[in-house]
Amino acid sequence: MTKEQVFELMNKNPSFHLATIDGNFPRVRGMFLYRADRDGVIFHTGAYKDLYRQVLACQNAELCFNGQNMQIRVSGCLEIVDDNALKDEIVNHPTRAFLQGWRNSTTPEEFYKAFVVLRLKNGTAVTWTAETNLMPKVEIKL
């Protein structure tokens, strides 16, 4: 599988699970992808959430996507993207209408501070299928 195929599968199946570290404990939650391409795997959260605090403490993470009878796990370091133009792009995207109320209920400055965009760039992906279950993992550099 090529990295372009990995990005394609992630974009077609935007719901994923994200694992972070909280002290000595793993934390996993469902997330919703904004996009995945050569610029990285981009998604978002709020600065008031535990996820944000966990990323500040430890940037290592793993994302798990499922689709087409395949699982793709992507490991790497998360970075916070402080780009208001990207934040506006995300909020104005048709798949993010649920963010409009949040943005409209606060000042732009408060919203930009509270709306956190995360990116995993240059990660490593591995795939799993029932057919390849017992085979060695093949890493795909993203």
Span 11-37, pLDDT tens digits? 999 999 999 999 999 999 999 999 999
Query: What is the pLDDT at residue 81?
Result: 98
Q: What stretch of H or E contains 118?
A: strand 115-120
pTM of the model: 0.95
**What domains, with CATH codes, occur in the chain?**
3-141 (2.30.110.10)
Check pLDDT > 90 for residue 68. no
Name the residue among 110, 96, 107 with its Cα closest to residue 43: 96
Could you give the CA distance from residue 142 to residue 126 in angstroms, rounded to a whole number? 10
- In the prediction, which pLDDT does 95 show? 94
For the purposes of burial, counting CB atoms within 10 Å of the CB of 87, is it exposed (0-12), middle (13-18) or buried (19 or more)? buried
